[in-house]
Structures are given as C-alpha cells and as structure tokens.
Amino acid sequence: MSVFADHPFAVRVEALAATGMRRLAEATLSLYPDLDAMWTQVGGGVAAYLGEGSPVNGTAGFGMPGEVTAADVEALERFFAARGERPLASVCPMAHPSVARLLGARGWTIGAFENVLARTLDSDLVLPEPDAHIEIRVARTPDELELWALMVANGFSAPDDPTPAEMRLGRAATAREDSAFLIGYIDGAPAGTGELQLEDGVGWLSADTTLPQFRGRGVQRSLQRARLALAFDAGCDIAVSESMPGSGSQRNMERLGFSVAYTRVDALGPNPASA
C-alpha cells in the first residue's frame, strides 16, 4: 500500500505535475486568448503563468532530471518578473542539489510546504463501501462541467466569493482531456468536487472541495473512494495527491491508505518590485 519514494518515483510524479501545469496554461490561453497566459520549459521543469492572481502561477519539476545552472534560475526569474509576478518554484527534496544551492545564493526564501501523498493500487485494493446517501457522478455535459467549475471555485474561495482568476482556473481545468471531473451529491444537491488526472500509470487526485453547508458529511471520503476505483480500473499502479501538512485533507487521505511520500518546499524568488 505504501510507496517507497526514491528518485525515479519522484521524477515520475514531478513530471506529471509539470505536464498538468503546462496543459492548464494551454487550456487557459485557448479559452482566454486575450489573457497573457504562458508557459515555458526551464531547468527540466515547467513554469506557468495563468494570469494575474491565478493560484497556480508557479513552477513544477525544476531540477528533477539533473543539474540546473545559474542561467536556468535567471530565466525563471525573468519569466515571472516580465509579468509582474514574484517567482515561485515548488521544489521536490529529491531535485538535484544544485537547485537549493543556486536558489539560496540568489536570495530565494521558503514560502510554504506541501506534502505529496501516495499509495499503490494493486489487486489487493480494498475500498470502503459506498455511502448510500451520497451519489457520485462524473461531469460530462457542458452544463455539468460548468457546474463543476463553479463549485470548485466557490469551494476553494469560501467564505469569500471566487475571484475572476479562480473562476478562469476552474473552467480551464475542465477544458483538459486528461482528467475526469467528479461531483458528489447529497439528496440530489451538488455538494463537492474532485478531479482525477490519469497519465503514465498514475492517478492524481486533486480539486477536493466541499461547499460549506455540506462539510463534515463524508463527501470527500466518497469522492476519494470513487476516484481510487476509477484509477484502478484505468490500470494505474499508483495514486497521488497533495495536501497542506497536518491538514484535514491529509488525514482523509491517510484513512484511505495514503502516506506522505515527500514534502515540497515552495521557494519564492525576489519580488519584481524590489528586484
């Protein structure tokens, strides 16, 4: 059930994270051509900008294939500075040691931490029984996908209203073809969301939100169970998710057999205003 998080495993996971970021940027640009959405390959990873205020502006996979150079870090800084954004890189602890050395030398600082959780999916997979009062459906029609986008934006922004950037992100996510978008219903009312990205034998669980009035009623547990079953049926051998350390999301995932594989560091570069 648990996964040994060696370097090949981390390369596999971080490559998928970088691919997902690139596809989000491409979908955003397709839906909003007037927006300055952009992505670039740098240091073996992907840096993406999805517009001002987007919660996923950042870099994934940096330094995973091998050594990075000062020129790579400078290119990363220029990419974000050109858009008035502070550089951000989610750094895996198994990235090449040159990443920490060069980011530190250029004054990058630690902004936050994020756990990557994983579990195996094999013939011994045992999942909880479905909750009879919660129905899980895969969003397929345009109306269902729009509902999913609205729900995920509202779920993450609550108790505040979603920003335009959060609304764009939800819609851009549903424009991708590598994921399934699930909605959990309680007594016929839409209550929560989940996303399952499928690629390279990995099922990536994300976009876990529950609307405030339905929290504490098992919606996420049911959505997670459904996505694990879908990933297993699709032939995935590993399931992956992310959480803030010590959060309720981490606790929920651990109850379904996930364990912390490694912890990323969100590294912040110089602020463009002071650079």
Domains and CATH numbers, the chain: 7-115+263-268 (no CATH), 134-261 (3.40.630.30)
Which tens digits make up the pLDDT trace of 48-67? 999 999 999 999 999 999 99
The angle formed by the CA atoms of residues 117, 77 and 111, to the nearest 5 degrees, is 40
pLDDT at 123: 81
pLDDT band at 33 (very low <50, low <70, confident <90, very high): very high
- The mean pLDDT value for 11-31 works out to 96
- pLDDT over threshold 60, residue 275: no
C-alpha dihedral (17, 18, 21, 22), degrees to nearest 10? -150
Alpha-carbon span 91 to 100, nearest angstrom:
9
Backbone angles phi, psi at 48, to 5 degrees: -135, 145
C-alpha dihedral (174, 59, 255, 239), degrees to nearest 10? 70
Which tens digits make up the pLDDT trace of 208-243? 999 999 999 999 999 999 999 999 999 999 999 999
Listed residue (26, 52, 51, 56) closest to 40, CA to CA: 26
Compare 92 and 128 and report the one with higher pLDDT: 92
- Give the orientation angle of helix 97-105 with respect to helix 70-81, to 10 degrees: 60
- pLDDT over threshold 90, residue 258: yes
Q: Residue 89 contacts by C-beta under 8 Å, 6 or more apart in sequence?
A: 45, 47, 58, 59, 62, 76, 99, 103, 108, 266, 267, 269
Q: How far is CA 25 from CA 8, 21, 31, 105, 170, in A?
A: 26, 6, 10, 30, 12
Which tens digits make up the pLDDT trace of 121-168? 988 888 888 888 999 999 999 999 999 999 999 999 988 999 999 999
pLDDT at 124: 80
- pLDDT over threshold 70, residue 274: no
Q: Model pTM?
A: 0.93
Q: Which residue has the tokens 């405030």?
A: 212
- pLDDT over threshold 60, residue 109: yes
Alpha-carbon span 224 to 66, nearest angstrom:
34
Residue 144: exposed, middle, or buried by beta-carbon count in 10 A (0-12, 13-18, 19+)?
A: middle
pLDDT at 134: 96
Q: Which residue has the tokens 């790579």?
A: 72
Sign of the dihedral through C-alpha 32, 37, 41, 46? negative
| Mean residue pLDDT across the chain | 94
Residue % of the chain over a pLDDT of 70: 99
pLDDT at 174: 97
Element (H, E) at 206: strand 202-210
The angle formed by the CA atoms of residues 31, 39 and 167, to the nearest 5 degrees, is 40
- pLDDT over threshold 90, residue 16: yes
pLDDT at 135: 96
